[in-house]
A = this chain, B = another copy of it.
């Protein structure tokens, strides 16, 4: 008997979504493979390390399903889904350089294998390819949505860098960071689905709201998981954010609710970056005491509910059910 998957319902949601848009997703994957080619062999080699090695393809799936939910019957959404995945992949490559990460999706990260230099430059290539895919689509409205998202992502990443190691950061700043670095691309991914379908602005905005709130919930759960043993099951290490001194909501909650001695601890480990044996375990204890993990997930659930509300105006369909279940999928990772 295979070992039981801990969250069958959540995994089922992703499987159901993939099943609904299987042909589109296969076309998207073919296009991704085609467009990452270059006479410069290192480019497809490095891109394949990240792109072909998998990942859930969550963002392109959102574009494909959003377009179908909006009644689109053409093929443009395939190219835009590939474009969204290229932007995401380029961002991951640059993130790993910035974070000096050695692991990505449980494997050695591209920068660890190919070096920082190649990761920066191949990231640039994938950004450029993403823009070429948008130009090939030919809609200035779509171009505007995705280019603006790319600028917002970069702003979010820079802001994250600025407030890193600063325990005086506010929750509002933290939300600005995750709205930029994560939610902006989710929002653009779902919005362009409505736009290619030629739906009225209100529907495009509902899709934008669905994606944006889902993206915030997704990142909140990610940031909570970084302090959860559950993380290890996902092939990631616990405490990466802690070691980098990243200021995330679980930290902000534990810091705000802690006494002076506890705040001194957080300042030492995150601001001064003087970390010792046992500090991560102590941090996990403080988070448990102050319910920082649970309350971060509760916050994620709040944004998840807003994502579900944004779907309410659409007629019932298999796609609508699948997109609703994806909200649960993103949150249930934290159980």
- Please report A residues at the B interface, Cβ cutoff 8 Å: 38-43, 91, 94, 97-98, 116-118, 120-125, 127-129, 131-132, 134-135, 138, 140, 143-144, 147-148, 150-151, 153-155, 157-159, 161-162
Residues of B within 8 A of A120 (CB): 94, 97-98, 120
CB pair B42 A122 closer than 8 Å? no
Residues of B within 8 A of A144 (CB): 132, 135
Residues of B within 8 A of A43 (CB): 155, 158
In the bound complex, CA of A97 to CA of B98 (Å) = 11
Residue of B nearest to A99 (CB): B117
Instruction: Write the nearest CB–CB distance from A217 to chain B, whole angstroms.
Output: 23
In the bound complex, CA of A38 to CA of B153 (Å) = 12
Residues of B within 8 A of A153 (CB): 124, 128
Known: A98-B121, A121-B94. A158 touches B42 (CB 8 A): yes
CB pair B154 A124 closer than 8 Å? yes
CB pair B151 A40 closer than 8 Å? no
Residues of B within 8 A of A140 (CB): 135, 138, 140
Residue of B nearest to A35 (CB): B151
Interface centre among A39, A43, A155 (most CB of B within 10 A): A155
In the bound complex, CA of A151 to CA of B136 (Å) = 14
Interface centre among A38, A135, A144 (most CB of B within 10 A): A135
CB pair B40 A158 closer than 8 Å? yes
CB pair B148 A132 closer than 8 Å? yes
In the bound complex, CA of A95 to CA of B144 (Å) = 27
Residue of B nearest to A162 (CB): B42
- 4 extra interface residue pairs, beta carbon distance < 8 Å, beyond A121-B161, A131-B143, A140-B140: A98-B117, A122-B158, A124-B153, A135-B140
Q: List 13 A-B contacts (CB under 8 A).
A: A40-B155, A40-B158, A40-B162, A98-B116, A98-B117, A121-B161, A122-B154, A124-B154, A128-B150, A128-B151, A132-B144, A132-B151, A140-B140
Interface centre among A91, A98, A122 (most CB of B within 10 A): A98
Interface centre among A121, A153, A157 (most CB of B within 10 A): A121
CB pair A129 B151 closer than 8 Å? yes
In the bound complex, CA of A134 to CA of B150 (Å) = 14
Instruction: Write the nearest CB–CB distance from A148 to chain B, whole angstroms.
Output: 7
In the bound complex, CA of A327 to CA of B134 (Å) = 35
CB pair B42 A125 closer than 8 Å? no
CB pair A158 B128 closer than 8 Å? no
CB pair A154 B135 closer than 8 Å? no
In the bound complex, CA of A140 to CA of B138 (Å) = 7
Residues of B within 8 A of A39 (CB): 155
Residues of B within 8 A of A117 (CB): 97-98, 161
Instruction: Write the nearest CB–CB distance from A280 to chain B, whole angstroms.
Output: 23
Instruction: Write the nearest CB–CB distance from A207 to chain B, whole angstroms.
Output: 20
Residues of B within 8 A of A97 (CB): 116-117, 120
Residues of B within 8 A of A158 (CB): 38, 40, 42-43, 118, 121-122, 125
Residues of B within 8 A of A42 (CB): 158, 161-162
Contact of A135 among B122, B138, B147, B157 (CB under 8 A): B147
